[in-house]
Amino acid sequence: MPTYDALREECCEANRLLPGTGLVDLTFGNVSVCDRDAGAFAIKPSGVDYDRLTPADMVVLDFEGQVLAGTLRPSSDTPTHRHLLQAFTGIRAVVHTHSRHAVAFAQAGRPIPCLGTTHGDYFHGPVPVTRPLTAKETGPDYEWETGKVIVEAFHDLNPLHVPAALVRGHGPFTWGASGRQAVEHARVLEIAAQMALATLALDPAAEPLPPHLLDRHFFRKHGPGAYYGQPA
């Protein structure tokens, strides 16, 4: 029977990164990491303090939601993670937090505008906010429906170019090619949200970053022509 050791190690490490980022209060956050070849993903157990987490605590499930390994109850957000991992096939990991500035935009029902190059280095345009969930969607399949409204918000967006979304009235989800990268995206999202709030407080009519400058900053870090940083 598979042990999923490497998957659980990566997932545990990413979850244990969260408290040091300042993105989470109490246990308000979780990370999942998938292994597509194995048809499985690991996720933080529900309500367990980060400093107590071990790789063996990570719950491993298949993409139908059946538990493959682990004795603890998985995060209550597991169906949302599962839906995103199924829909966005170019990603391996998902992070959900309640980071305060990003939540402020989610609660206001406003996307995070791309006002500067810090935002544009990671997100190729505004970070979208979902529509409100209906009463029916907040029923028994609430967490699965949460994933569906995120995917719906990306009908004309590339989730690899905008690796984040805000769920209306709830908070942010980010994703990436690894647990560590998805956490990095969650950190940058919160920084961008804080900068945007400060900018809009100074000038409510602040203009978005012009497309030519946005493209230069995003694509110098991403894509085949990227030249930021060192060669792999």
Phi, psi dihedrals of residue 120, rounded to the nearest 5°? -65, -20
C-alpha 178: how far from its chain's center? 11
Torsion region of 58: left, alpha or beta (phi above 0 gives left; psi -120 to 50 gives alpha): beta
**Cβ distance 74 to 46 under 8 Å?**
yes
Residues 6+ apart with CB under 8 A from 12: 53, 54, 55, 57, 58
pLDDT score for 173:
98
Residues of the chain above pLDDT 90, percent:
85
Name the burial class of residue 202, with classes exposed (0-12), middle (13-18) and buried (19+) by CB atoms within 10 angstroms of its CB.
exposed
pLDDT score for 47:
87
**Cβ distance 199 to 115 under 8 Å?**
yes
- Domain residue limits at 58: 5-219
Binning pLDDT at 50, 70 and 90, where does residue 144 land? very high
Q: What is the pLDDT of residues 200-212, one digit of tens each?
A: 999 999 999 999 9
First to last CA, the chain: 35
Q: Look at residue 181 and tell me if it is in a domain.
A: yes
pLDDT score for 161:
98
Average pLDDT over residues 35-53: 93
Q: Report d(CA 15, CA 198) in Å as an integer.
A: 29
Q: Look at residue 97 and tell me if it is in a domain.
A: yes
- State the total domains in the chain: 1
Q: Report d(CA 25, CA 120) in Å as an integer.
A: 27
Q: Look at residue 31 and tell me if it is in a domain.
A: yes
Q: Of 54-58, 109-113, 133-137, 222-226, which range is least confident?
A: 222-226
pLDDT score for 79:
97
Q: Look at residue 228 and tell me if it is in a domain.
A: no
Average pLDDT over residues 144-153: 98
Q: Look at residue 225 and tell me if it is in a domain.
A: no
pLDDT score for 28:
80
Q: Look at residue 85 and tell me if it is in a domain.
A: yes
pLDDT score for 1:
62
Q: What is the pLDDT of residues 91-141, one digit of tens each?
A: 999 999 999 999 999 999 999 999 999 999 999 999 999 999 999 999 999
Average pLDDT over residues 186-213: 97
Average pLDDT over residues 164-171: 97
Instruction: Report the CATH number that the domain containing residue 145 is assigned in CATH.
Output: 3.40.225.10
Q: Look at residue 227 and tell me if it is in a domain.
A: no
Average pLDDT over residues 58-87: 96
Q: Which residue numbers are catalytic?
A: 121, 228
Average pLDDT over residues 145-173: 97
Q: Look at residue 224 and tell me if it is in a domain.
A: no
Q: What is the mean pLDDT of the chain?
A: 95
Average pLDDT over residues 45-61: 93
